[in-house]
Amino acid sequence: MSVPWQADFNECSSQTIDVTYEGWNRINAAGDSRLAQDQQNWDTLWWPAHRPMQTYVLTGPTTVSGWTENWAKGIPQTNAGDLKMVTEWPNLGFVVRNPTLPADQLDSADPPAAKYVSTERS
């Protein structure tokens, strides 16, 4: 883990993972040409429950944006972005339940897309 932890939080937001890694398949994996043919890379989220990638934004006391924005806007997932995450941390929005929705919509089996919004962002 890095110090401060925000850098690791940024670096581990997503990562491209080779899901065909031959070490995962130990049965005759060495020299198996089928592994090369079927190689796949997937973008994997590392902090999905703790770090949002995009959020709806509370734009006024009773209004929410109809689109999502990057939660860590302007902070790239690079080494330079790690430093920027440390310095910009206080400017990121809090993700809260949407205060503009009636309670019956928040707890429904099929809640609206904007159930959670980013607020107090500077």
54: domain range? 5-119
Q: What is the pTM of this model?
A: 0.65
HSE-up of residue 93 (Cα within 13 Å, Cβ side): 22
Pair of tokens at residue 2 = 């890095």
Work out the number of other CB atoms within 10 angstroms of the CB of residue 109. 4
Whether the CB-CB separation of 52 and 70 falls below 8 Å is answered with: no
Question: Average pLDDT, whole number, for the chain?
Answer: 78
Is a pLDDT exceeding 60 seen at residue 82?
yes
Quote the CA–CA distance of 121 and 51 in Å, as a whole number. 15
Domain count, the chain: 1
Distance CA(60)–CA(119), nearest Å, equals: 9
- Rg, Å, the chain Cα set: 20
Give 23-74 pLDDT, tens digit per residue: 555 545 556 666 666 667 777 777 666 778 889 998 888 888 888 999 888 9
Is the pLDDT at 103 greater than 60? The verdict is yes
**Residue 22 CB partners (closer than 8 Å, separation 6+):** 29, 30, 32, 35
Give the pLDDT score at 101.
86
